[in-house]
Structure formats: structure tokens, C-alpha cells
Amino acid sequence: MTAIAALAIGGLLSGCSGGEEHAESPKLGQCDTLLGAKNVEAAVKTTGGSDVEVGGTPQADVLADRLAREAKQWQESDLQHTRYTSCRMGAFEGDEISGTVDTTVKWSALSLGMMDSPENSRTWRRANPSVYVEPEAAPGLSRLIAACAVPGAIASQPSDLPLQFDVSGASLGTELRWELLSTFARSVVEEMDCTKPPVIPSALPAAAS
């Protein structure tokens, strides 16, 4: 199991010496790079805790390598996919947990063809032909799927095995979840050797009228 790095962020939450506090936690610094420093700071503030524990694998290149290796071995009969936790931030006030923020990525069990079904079209928003977003997949959870053709994978992989990015946190609003989600997806996709990289939009796609 990945070691958990603890960070006291009293200065970060009060706006004092935030950069120095960030520097004391290598994993939180890596989350800054993966998710955007301003997004991470805002997410931590919403939890209301004074101490944060950071876990996961917050390295886009490592995640991309694991995902690519899995895609090259995938067959259409494979329905189980490994979920990779990139950043897990747990905030504490004393001994009590005050909030958590989780970001994960996996190859999705959903295909792009499923997005046109009446059931899915009610909750999923089409950003472009390769990217779909579900702003409220569950309470406090936003999800994005993106087609990524991995060289060496079977021909059906791009449409039948898209990437799935999740960001969850009960204290996060929809807009902040989107900022974390889109930055996260963009960071990983940039490290993937997609034949035609999906374009992750900067703005949350509007709901279909």
C-alpha cells in the first residue's frame, strides 16, 4: 500500500505561508501538479480540517503507463478494470475526519455507444465526439469519459474502452469538482500516447436543451 504523507496545513487554510506548507508534503505537491495548485488549495479549504493526509499515486506518467499496459492486454470479454487512485486527501480536525477528496482513473465499463441511450442522455453531457461528462454521477461525484486509442490495443478499444475519471468529495461544489476533474483528465491524457488525443474542454459542457 502506498505510504501516506501527513501535512499540517494551518498556514494554508489561513492564507499564511501556504507555499512553505505545500513544500513539506511531496505528495501534496504532486497533487498540485496533477490537479492544479489552486484547485487543490480550494478543495482542501472546503473540508474545514487543519491537518491533511495524502495518499495515492499522484503522478500522471505513472498512471498513464499503467493504463496503457492494461489497454494493450484488453479483450472485449474483459469486464473488470483496475481503478487507480491518483490523489486521496483526507482532512482532520483533531482526531475527527472533516472531509475527503478522491480522484481516480480507470478504463470504463461504459462504451461511447452507450451515451446515446435515453437513460444515459439524461445525465451525461456531450462535450465533443470523444468526451462525455456526468456532473452528478452520484451525490458529490463527477465523472468524465474520454476515448483514447492506445497503440497496440485491439481495434475496438477506443470506442468500447474509454478512460473514466472520477472526482468525489461531499464538500466540493459542482464547479470545483469540474475544475479538478478536467485538469486531472488533461494531465493524464497528455501523458498517454493516444493516437488521437481527446480534447478535454475548459468549461463544463452545458446540459442538452
Helices and strands, number each (H, E), in the chain:
8, 8
Tens digits of per-residue pLDDT, 125-151? 999 999 999 999 999 999 999 999 999
User: Which residues, at least 6 apart from 140, have a Cβ–Cβ distance to it below 8 Å?
Assistant: 168, 169, 170, 171, 172, 177
Is pLDDT above 50 for 17?
A: no
pLDDT of residue 8: 36
Mean pLDDT estimate for the chain = 87
pLDDT, position 209: 64
pLDDT of residue 13 exceeding 70: no
